[in-house]
Amino acid sequence: MELKGKYKPKIIVVVGPTASGKSDLAVEIAKKYNGEVVSADSRQVYKGMDIGTGKITQKEMQGIKHYLLDVASPKTRFTVAQYQKKANQAIGEIIKKEKLPILCGGTGFYIQSIVDNIAIPKVKPDLKLRKNLEKQSAEELFEQLKKLDSERAKNIDKYNKRRLIRAIEIVLKTKKPIPELKKNQPYDVLMLGTKIDKSELKKRIEKRLKKRLEQGMIKEVEKLHQSGVSFKRLEEFGLEYRYIAYYLQGKINEQEMVEKLQKEIEHYAKRQMTWFKKDKRIIWIKNKKTALGLIGEFIGVRC
RNA sequence: GCCGUGGUAGCUCAGGGGUAGAGCAUUUCUCUGAAAAAGAAGGGGUCGUCAGUUCAAUUCUGACCCACGGCA
Strand B reaches within 7 A of the A241 CB: yes
Q: Do both A211 and A135 map to the same domain?
A: no
Q: Which of residues 71-90 of A touch strand B (CB under 7 A)?
A: 77-82
Domain count, chain A: 2
pLDDT in tens, A120-150: 988 888 888 898 888 888 888 998 898 888 8
Instruction: Tell whether A144 and A239 lie within a shared domain.
Output: no
A277 touches strand B (CB under 7 A): yes
Q: Both A206 and A62 in a single domain?
A: yes
Which positions of strand B lie within 7 Å of protein CB atoms?
24-40
Whether CB of A152 is under 7 Å from strand B: the answer is yes
pLDDT in tens, A49-80: 999 999 999 999 999 999 999 999 999 999 99
* pLDDT at A113 > cutoff 70: yes
Average pLDDT of the segment spanning A207-221: 95
Residue A25 has pLDDT above 80, yes or no: yes
The answer to whether residue A4 sits within a structural domain is: no
Domain contains A46 = yes
Structural domain boundaries, residue A162: 127-174
Are A153 and A279 within one domain? Answer: no
H/E segment holding residue A19: none
Q: What is the mean pLDDT of residues A271-289?
A: 94
Give me the CATH number covering residue A42: 3.40.50.300
Whether residues A26 and A154 fall in one domain: no
**Same domain membership, residue A200 and residue A62:** yes
Q: What pTM did the predictor assign?
A: 0.90
Q: Of the residues A156, A174, A192, which one is the last residue of a structural domain?
A: A174
The answer to the question of residue A3 being in a domain is no
Residues A11-33 have a mean pLDDT of 94
Is A31 among the domain residues? yes
Clarify whether residues A156 and A189 are in a common domain.
Answer: no
Query: Residue A1: inside a domain, yes or no?
Result: no
- Are A25 and A152 within one domain? no
Report the nucleotide nearest the CA of residue A179, measured to C1': B32
**Last-in-domain residue among A107, A140, A174:** A174
- One domain for residues A58 and A145: no
For residues A163 and A232, membership in a common domain is answered with no
Q: What would the pLDDT profile of A175-185 be if each residue is shown by its tens digit?
A: 777 877 778 88
Q: Please tell me the predicted confidence (pLDDT) of residue A6.
A: 58
* Domain contains A135: yes
For range A211-218, the mean pLDDT = 95
Same domain, A254 and A160: no
Q: Is A65 exposed, middle or buried (0-12, 13-18, 19+ CB in 10 A)?
A: middle
**Inter-CA distances, A193 with A164, A254, A276, Å:** 32, 34, 8
Task: Give the CA count within 13 Å in the CB-facing half-sphere of A272.
Answer: 24
Q: For the complex shown, is ipTM > 0.90?
A: no
Question: What are the helix (H) ranges across chain A?
Answer: 22-33, 58-61, 80-96, 108-115, 127-134, 138-148, 150-155, 161-174, 198-214, 217-226, 231-237, 239-248, 254-277, 288-299
Same domain, A151 and A29: no
Nucleic chain B: which protein residues 15-44 of A have CB below 7 A from it? 41-44
